[in-house]
Homo-oligomer: A and B are copies of this chain.
Amino acid sequence: MDSETRIPRAALLDFVSAVYVRAGMPEDDARLAADTLVQADLWGHQSHGVMRLPWYLARIEAGVCAAVAQPEIAIDAGAVAVLDGNEGMGQVVAARAMDEAIRRATSFGIGAVSVRNSNHFGTAMYFTLMAARAGCIGFLSTNASPAMAPWGGREKSVGTNPWSWAAPAGSHAPLVLDIANTAVARGKIYLAKQNDAMIPRGWALDATGAPTTDPSEALAGVVLPMAQHKGYAIAAVMDVLSGVLSGSAFGAAVHGPYQAEHRSGAGHLAIVLNIAAFQPLAEFNGRMERYIAELKSAAPAQDFDEIFYPGEIEARNDARNRAEGIQYPLKTLAELQRVAQRLGIDAP
């Protein structure tokens, strides 16, 4: 059940930042990490929002994630680089990787930064949008702890391995893709559990391999890939790009944000294309506006009022939630309250 009051973005940002600072993070890093959580809520992706704060906090307190992130360039080779995250907060490491990739793309037309020894970074589109705002097209992939079986298997050994592309879109908010390769993001199952809701059939199998609609049983079992073998194949490729290529952990050796006792081992890959190297940015923006107008002009199907381009729903949610504040499930607010009390910080 949701709270009736809406909490303003600024209050949330201050609170989450204060928690991260109390945990030992430098002020700037704390604000960045806080912003990634609050921004996910603004977009309407509460499964990746401040609901996750206690998990990140537990990992910092357990010492498996460094509060003071010290990512360093392990290989610097012009258009490409390898960034060692040194077990720092994934959000801080991913932002650094994207900054580096944008800088390299500006010089070379394209840039790539391969990241090892990082952590769960939250929502991938937070970082690809950095590229879009810089007049670039951005790609970011990560591997993640095992969440689904390989296609044809019944043991969970393949991660959700999310990936994102974002591109500027002229007068519109950027066109953005941000997906996990499971039939559903695991966070959505946590959110259902948080809300005492059932999940649809087709999202997951229970521990015995049977279909289930109970979020707790699903979390003990195995999530199904999206689009059957296709989602499995995409997830495998994202692990090759993120884990195998970077020299980080891959496959079952990657640990997720829900476990406070293991280092993550997560790896990422950021690729950025500088649009101006291919055509004038203004021309690209005009073409994007025409493309979006065309997508939205198709006659709507039954039960739909409007066709959205990818990223449009998030942009609308963001505008509303920024203006009116964010509503949370009461359970989430209670957890934030517990964190606040324990650390002696005012809850938002």
Binding site for B on A (CB under 8 A): 75, 77-80, 82, 108-112, 114, 137, 149-155, 157-158, 165, 167, 175, 177, 179, 183, 209, 226-227, 230-234, 236-237, 239-241, 243-247, 250-252, 271, 273-275, 277-279, 283-284, 287-288, 290-291, 294-302, 304, 306-310
B108 and A78 contact, CB distance less than 8 A: yes
State whether B177 touches A80 (Cβ < 8 A).
Answer: no
A177-B234, A294-B157 known; A273+B112 contact, CB < 8 A: yes
Contacts of A151 in B (CB 8 A): 307-308
Closest to A311 in B: B233
The complex is assembled from copies of this chain, and their number is 2
Across the interface, do B108 and A284 meet the contact criterion of CB distance under 8 Å? no
From B108, B154, B301, give the contact of A301 (CB < 8 A).
Answer: B154
Asked if B298 contacts A240 (CB within 8 A), the reply is no
A134 and B54 alpha carbons, distance in the complex (Å): 46
- Within 8 Å by CB of A244, from B75, B247, B291, B310, lies B291
Please tell me if the beta carbons of A284 and B244 are within 8 angstroms of each other in the complex.
yes
Q: Is the CB of A165 within 8 A of B237?
A: yes
Query: Contacts A150-B295, A231-B227, A237-B310; is A79 near B109 (CB within 8 Å)?
Result: yes
Asked if B137 and A108 sit within 8 Å, CB to CB, the answer is: no
Cβ–Cβ contact B298 & A245, under 8 A: no
Q: A109-B112, A278-B245, A291-B251 are in contact. Are A233 and B177 (CB under 8 A)?
A: yes
| Selected A-B contacts with CB under 8 Å, 24 pairs | A77-B277, A78-B109, A80-B109, A82-B279, A137-B240, A149-B301, A152-B304, A153-B300, A153-B304, A153-B307, A165-B237, A167-B240, A175-B237, A226-B230, A227-B231, A236-B291, A236-B295, A239-B291, A244-B284, A244-B291, A245-B279, A250-B291, A251-B295, A271-B271
7 further A-B pairs in the complex, CB-CB below 8 A; given A77-B109, A175-B240, A233-B310: A110-B110, A165-B237, A167-B237, A226-B227, A232-B310, A244-B288, A247-B283
Assembly CA distance A300 to B209 (angstroms): 11
Closest CB in chain B relative to A53 CB, distance in Å: 27
Residues of B within 8 A of A226 (CB): 226-227, 230
Q: Which 9 A-B pairs have the closest CB atoms?
A: A80-B109, A153-B298, A233-B310, A152-B304, A226-B227, A155-B298, A227-B227, A154-B301, A79-B108
* A302–B209 CA distance with the chains assembled, in angstroms: 9
Contact A298 B79, CB 8 Å, known A307-B152, A310-B237 = no
Of A114, A137, A230, A275, which is in contact with the most chain B CB atoms at under 10 Å from its CB?
A: A230
Q: Which residues of B are found within 8 Å of A287, using beta-carbon distances? A: 244, 250
The CA-CA distance from A151 to B155 in the complex, in Å, is: 32
Q: A332 to B297, alpha carbons, bound, how many Å?
A: 39
User: Which residues of chain B are within 8 angstroms of A137 by Cβ–Cβ distance?
Assistant: 240-241, 245
Scoring A240, A283, A307 by chain B CB atoms within 10 A of each residue's CB, the highest score goes to: A240
Q: When chains A and B are docked, how far (Å) is the Cα of A107 from the Cα of B97?
A: 22
A110 to B104, CA, bound (A): 11
Docked CA distance A110–B81 (Å): 10
Structural contact, B294 and A152, CB atoms closer than 8 A: no
- Give the chain B neighbours of A108 by CB distance below 8 A: 78-80, 108
